[in-house]
Structure 1
Amino acid sequence: MRLSELGGKEIVDVKKAERLGVLGQTDLEIDERTGQIKALVIPSVKWFGLKRQGGEMRVPWRQIKKIGTDMVIVDITDEQ
């Protein structure tokens, strides 16, 4: 899959059935040595750009369960 194909997909937490953000509005944390994606860094923003408490959420790549045509399903651990 290409990076351009990920843009615009909704990021959804499978446990809470909650929308966390949209790929393209998130940052990727990349391992400089291997070039592999380590995590998604999702800014904590509500609808209409209103800020939420907490700044950002880091989702390790291993917690991504499925990348579909419209969304990315993640399974966030309780410590996040």
Structure 2
Amino acid sequence: TLTLIGLVLGSLLSSIVVIETVFTFPGLGRLLVDAIYARDYPLIQGTMLFVAFIYVVVNLLVDLVYPLLDPRVAA
């Protein structure tokens, strides 16, 4: 269950682009879309790097919480 929570949080990061574009919310996804339309490559790279960093941090936190919830996983 915890693994699925981590994966769902990762997919939520990818869906913010669609949600913010459709509903015209200002945010990270809208910033990325505007940067793509303006061909602002450094901003695109920075935004993608930030999203990848958040994805890695979420997966790291899931891996660190596992031994607390299930003692059989402890190394």
> TM-score band, normalised by the shorter chain?
under 0.3
User: TM-score, normalization: structure 2?
Assistant: 0.23
- Larger proportion of helix: 2
- Larger proportion of strand: 1
